[in-house]
Amino acid sequence: MKPFSTTLSTGIADLDHTIRGVLADDNIVWQVDDISEYQAFVTPFARAAHDNGRVLIYFRFAA
């Protein structure tokens, strides 16, 4: 596992630049009508977390 960093990547460079990255312990909440609507965001985020040795915890409150 890599050393802890306070700024994490969303996995999307332009989004990281816009929001200046994700801070450790941030909660990212998406409200969507269909899970496929946020696939373009969650896949790069999960890939970046994995590639950087991060633990990713996912909760879904839906039927």
Predicted local confidence at residue 12, as pLDDT: 92
Mean pLDDT of 38-52: 89
Mean pLDDT of 30-57: 86
Mean pLDDT of 5-16: 84
Q: Of 8, 16, 12, 15, whose CA–CA distance to 49 is shortest?
A: 8
Residue 52: count of CB within 10 angstroms of its CB: 13
* pTM of the predicted model as reported, rounded to 2 decimal places: 0.69
Predicted local confidence at residue 5, as pLDDT: 55
- Work out the pLDDT band at 28, boundaries 50, 70, 90: confident
Helix, strand, or coil (residue 51): helix
Question: Is 62's pLDDT higher than 60?
Answer: yes
